[in-house]
A and B are shown apart, each in its own frame.
Chain A
Amino acid sequence: MPLTLLAEQALNGLQLGLMLFLLAAGLTLVFGIMDMINLAHGTLYMIGAYLAATVAEASGSFVAAIAAAVVGTAVIGMALELTVLRPLYRRSHLHQVLATFALILIANELVRIIWGAQPIALNMPAALSGPVELAPGLRYPAYRLVVIGVGLAAALLLYVVVVHTRVGMWLRAGASDREMASAMGVNTAWLFTAAFGAGAALCAVAGALLGPLLAVQVGMGENILILAFVVIVIGGIGSVRGALVGALLVGILDTVGRTALPALFRALASPEVASEAGPALASMLIYVLMAGVLCFRPRGLFPARG
């Protein structure tokens, strides 16, 4: 494999991984701190993308679109937490799964009513729609570089907040022992709402950034939610660091699997077998990784609770 191809695929893997991290970070905090399985996390990602597309269409500014999506989705997220999710914290996981699954169905239908069943357009800014020459022979899409940059910035910000601030300390305390944290005077009710809002805002960033690369459509949240769950299971539930490592692993493994596995199969087997088995196995690869991690480290790579 030539060096430029390797570099390009590494960037592709990094880009996918960072976007997964934005989703997984919120999911893992909610799951870790509140012990709440929120299937509707992907719905917030969808809402973020739709808000961004609508504002971009109306204002013509991509930056304004992201800002509006972040604020709007955070507000919607916090409203959801206060009204629907809060009564569910004390219930069993099954109740939480059923209730948040209902939220997915309701949200999808609402989006269908408001925006229609067909995908809507969210175009990348014209200035970023071309390639950038990073090295001789290595042209990479400018927009994807920006996505990587924003993803890294968000990861850094999250790291600083979680590790070096008082709020972060409360979050970590809540994740490792909720009752004790609340006994030590942490206002968990307020903390939960804030954490949920922050998770929703990260979803909106991912939704707005991925909108131009994927498609803004009903049901977009469910596909990516599954990947986000794989990420937090690999990384360790409740751990933001685990979410980052898990997301990068999944992003890179998926990219490598999609490109290298079919080529490997072609070298070893007949073209017919390769074209059947290669793509099939490539799409299974991240689940194989998850199964492997579960087998050897059932609590994930970076368990939040000791």
Chain B
Amino acid sequence: MTKKASLLAGIALLALASTADAADKIKVGFMSTLSGPGAALGVDIRDGFELVAKGEGGKLGGLTADISIADDQQSPDTGRQVVERFTKRDRVDVITGMVFSNVLLPVMPAILASGTVYISPNTGPEDYAAEKCDPNFFVVSWQNEDTASAMGQVMNDRSLKNVYLIAPNYPGGRETLNGFKRTYKGAIAGEVYTRLGQLDYAAEIATLRAARPDAVFFFLPGGMGTNFIKQYVSAGAQQDARLYTPGYSADEDTIKSVGEPMVGILNTAQWAHDLDNPANRKFVADFQKAYGRLPTMYAQQGYDAAQLIAAAVRDTGGRIEDKAAFRQALHAARFDSPRGRFRFNTNNYPIQDYYLREVVKDGAGRITNKTIGKVYTDYADPFAARCKMK
């Protein structure tokens, strides 16, 4: 009998403890790809995210940040287990971190059904941009088509008439090529979809060269892109057709592992480390100081996801248990993004500028990205009009 009573008392205490929790800290479930060929992306998002909390002494917007970090191994199955833990056991206030749409899409229904806010620091799928837009779903990075559409525009401007397309066979890959085709007006020499996670592109490169395109537009995030560029160059193919890509495969992580052959690759992104604004100078300096390397667009996206949460917490005065007010604060949040102008559209996807960058060897002999122009100003994705936000 006494045993039972003490057990009950224990449960009551636990319940008390967890209600007390909600007011004085914010629980963040951070799940990203931290192992395998996509690991460089997840690691940069994580490091960018943690940089904000570190800068605030372990807090986000004045509330102590309890960030639990998990690896989804780029697998939807592992992702499901982690989400289960975040929503049912840890009862986190916000989930963020996922890199790949093939992980995000299968786990998102469970996250949204639990009423938890999700902030995407990377993939921005078409699914939640149009009719299925959700008040709990925010994308702080871009819609999957955006950077590719910007590159389509660039290639029109450069009068490229016969372009070969290559991307992995998963939602992010197909949406990226759709985005490219939305703006690009020339002929398509070939359109190839490879297995997600494929690392040997010998057969694809041979076929590509036989099609004799003017240029190649490829979207192969993480280790896939690193391998593709190396193999493309070692086959001597870049003399025939230059490589163009969204910024994902031409950022500092890829440059570090590929090196010299990257020089000359044009890429588009919502941000660059040399953008001249105070927030960016601070971000790049802080990131370099903390981690000893230049940040990538992934790092910037993770950084802004944390900045967004911090701003919303601050604006609600820390009362994040009022979910409607918290969501409203997230949608309206104002913070100094390193990318410059940024705000949410009606579908909670960004309206922002897109830049053209080129990988160059700078005066100090360092190979890095240089901003060479702006492609779009205040660009909004083409799906927002179909979103009737509840």
Contacts and interface: CB of A to CB of B under 8 A. Distances in A.
A292 interface: no
B202 interface: yes
Contacts of B135: none
Contacts of B110: none
B288 to A, nearest CB: 20
Interface stretch (B47-55, B231-239, B276-284, B351-359): B231-239
B290 interface: no
A273 B321 CA distance: 47
B241 to A, nearest CB: 13
Contacts of B24: none
A259 B207 contact: yes
B200 A141 contact: no
A271 B149 CA distance: 20
B43 interface: yes
Contacts of B35: 112, 117-118, 217-218
Given A9-B203, A117-B34, A144-B202, A215 B235 contact: no
B108 to A, nearest CB: 22
A271 to B, nearest CB: 7
Nearest to B177: A275
A121 B257 contact: yes
B192 interface: yes
B134 interface: no
Interface in A1-59: 1-2, 4-5, 8-9, 12-13, 15-16
A131 interface: yes
Given A9-B206, A214-B227, A131 B169 contact: no
Contacts of A271: 191
Given A118-B35, A215-B199, A8 B204 contact: no
B40 interface: yes
Interface string A123-167: 010000111000000011111100000000000000000000000
Interface in B217-249: 223, 227, 231, 233-237
Given A259-B207, A271-B191, A275-B169, A141 B234 contact: yes
Interface in B1-36: 34-36
A118 B203 contact: no
The interface size bin for chain A is 35 or more
B234 A215 contact: no
Given A12-B203, A119-B223, A255-B203, A278 B257 contact: no
Contacts, number: 97
B37 A12 contact: no
A106 interface: no
A214 B199 contact: yes
B203 A262 contact: no
A168 interface: no
A143 B234 contact: yes
A279 B202 CA distance: 16
Contact of B39 (A8, A119, A143): A119
Contacts of A131: 234-236
A283 interface: yes
B345 interface: no
Contact of B223 (A16, A215, A219, A255): A215
B252 to A, nearest CB: 15
A263 B71 CA distance: 37
Given A9-B203, A259-B204, A4 B210 contact: yes
A213 interface: yes
Given A131-B235, A262-B193, A214 B200 contact: yes
A299 interface: no
B207 A5 contact: yes
Contacts of A278: 193
A258 interface: yes
A1 B231 CA distance: 22
Contact of B195 (A9, A144, A215, A279): A279
Contacts of A15: 202
B236 A258 contact: no
Contacts of A263: 207
Contacts of B191: 271, 275
Contact of B71 (A12, A117, A213, A275): A117
Given A117-B71, A213-B227, A215-B223, 12 more contacts: A5-B206, A12-B202, A117-B35, A119-B37, A129-B234, A140-B235, A141-B236, A215-B37, A217-B223, A262-B192, A279-B193, A279-B195
11 contacts: A8-B206, A9-B203, A119-B223, A139-B237, A141-B231, A144-B202, A214-B199, A219-B36, A258-B194, A259-B203, A275-B193
